[in-house]
Amino acid sequence: MERKSQNIVPWRMSIAPMMDWTDRHCRYLHRQLSRRTLLYTEMVTAPALVRGGALHLLDHHPDEHPVALQLGGSDPVELAQAARIGEQAGYDEINLNVGCPSDRVQSGAFGAVLMKQPALVADCVAAMRAATKVEVTVKCRIGVDDQDPEEVLPEFLSRMVGAGIERVSIHARKAWLEGLSPKENRDIPPLDHDLVLRMKGLFPNLHISINGGITSLDQAREFLDRGLDGVMIGRAAYHSPADILCAADPLIYGTGEETTPEAAVRAMLPYIEAHLAGGGKLNQVTRHMMGLFAGRPGARQWRRMLSEGAHVPGAGPELVDAAMDQVTALAVPADAV
Ligand SMILES: Cc1cc2nc3c(=O)[nH]c(=O)nc-3n(C[C@H](O)[C@H](O)[C@H](O)COP(=O)(O)O)c2cc1C
């Protein structure tokens, strides 16, 4: 199979990898809202796959495509093996995490700390590319600790390009590896979107997606209009999936119809039924659906019904249906009834 060129596959928008959040149920929900947007898994560590044999971490639904597997690791041989396992599992892209600052990840010498070892990252991605036919990409920060992003980011990116990488996502803030929690590291180091924009000037042939603090489709379009190739959205897409994803296909890709959260809920009902039939629990799916009606009349009632009812033994799709009836009833203007 030929490697996908950036011209053929313009991944203009993606939903960021988020541990505990972008699991398969979340991704299935997001896919009901946008057919085009690229979805990322939570990070899966290479040792978990290669040494731990935890292949269940790769489970996903055939409808999730296009879907990228994010790997964590820093051993080229192990990452190459993990990438091959990911490819065999059917993922469309394998992404290397060079941005996650959590303690657990640091202790394994991977994630954001690798911004300090661009040569090692280059070895890792070269080994991953050699082992697979699917595209290998990188998600990074603009630097860590006392690094000067103006210096280290171009140096890092040119190493990636040298190793054959054609597509990166850049979280436009540094990670401070000591003293900040992972959560604080997503808010406290200041965003520098301009630096990422300037990287596009330096690396015109590299597909660059900007990430960090993007909270609306309008803002996403602005970055695309300013020359970036893609936008990656994390928290806003999780908390208000309809706002980010319903109009993404027509507005970002210029194709397809706008979707609605109601249609997504209806599409989730058979999925939920199948999940329960396989021994799963309702709230494993509905926890990702809480924000579907965010900002709309009935959002509170929707959340309350799901959070109070979804963990009760025996609860099923009828609870979700009933919760949506409440939203629909409240959405009707008072003078129309
Ligand atoms: C709950 C949570 C978990 C995250 N887990 C990962 C992860 O596994 N891998 C990764 O590269 N980034 C992870 N991130 C960072 C996001 O991918 C993204 O870079 C960050 O949230 C900034 O984008 P945003 O401002 O659009 O949310 C996580 C973020 C959140 C909120």
Cα-based distances in Å from 250 to 64, 154, 228, 294? 19, 33, 18, 21
- Least confidently predicted of 1-5, 124-128, 149-153, 331-335: 1-5
What pLDDT does 179 receive? Answer: 86
Chain segment 6-17, per-residue pLDDT in tens: 333 458 999 999
Task: With beta carbons less than 8 A apart as the criterion, state whether 34 and 230 touch.
Answer: no
If you take atom 30 of ligand 1, which residue's CA is the nearest one? Answer: 18
Percent of the chain whose predicted confidence (pLDDT) is above 70: 93
Chain segment 255-310, per-residue pLDDT in tens: 999 999 999 999 999 999 999 999 999 999 999 999 999 999 999 999 999 999 99
| 23 Cβ inside 6 Å of ligand 1 | no
- Characterize the bridge pairing of strands 93-98 and 135-140: parallel
Q: Produce one character per residue of 270-283: b if its CB has 16 or more CB atoms within 10 Å, e if not.
A: ebbeebbeeeeebb
88: its two tokens: 């065999």
Ligand 1 centre from 71 Cα, in Å? Answer: 14
What pLDDT does 78 receive? Answer: 97
Ligand 1 centre from 233 Cα, in Å? Answer: 9
Ligand 1 centre from 241 Cα, in Å? Answer: 15
If you take atom 15 of ligand 1, which residue's CA is the nearest one? Answer: 18
> pLDDT band at residue 333, thresholds of 50, 70 and 90?
low
What pLDDT does 331 receive? Answer: 73
282: left (phi over 0), alpha (psi -120 to 50) or beta: alpha
The yes-or-no verdict on residue 335 having pLDDT over 90 is: no
- Characterize the bridge pairing of strands 135-140 and 167-171: parallel
How far does CA 281 lie from the centroid of its chain? 23
What pLDDT does 329 receive? Answer: 82
| 99 Cβ inside 6 Å of ligand 1 | yes
Compute the mean pLDDT over every residue in the chain, rounded to the nearest whole number. Answer: 93
Whether 26 is a known active-site residue: answer no
| 16 Cβ inside 6 Å of ligand 1 | yes
28: its two tokens: 């299935």
| 131 Cβ inside 6 Å of ligand 1 | no
Read off the pLDDT of each residue in 104-113 and give the average, rounded to a whole number: 73
216: its two tokens: 């609306």
The yes-or-no verdict on residue 35 having pLDDT over 60 is: yes
19 annotated binding-site participant: yes
Read off the pLDDT of each residue in 204-231 and give the average, rounded to a whole number: 97
Read off the pLDDT of each residue in 314-328 and give the average, rounded to a whole number: 93
Amino acid found at 337: V
What pLDDT does 104 receive? Answer: 61
- Least confidently predicted of 26-30, 92-96, 295-299: 295-299
Question: Which of 271, 291, 292, 296 is closest to 282 using CA atoms?
Answer: 271
What pLDDT does 109 receive? Answer: 75
CB atoms within 10 A of CB 337: 6
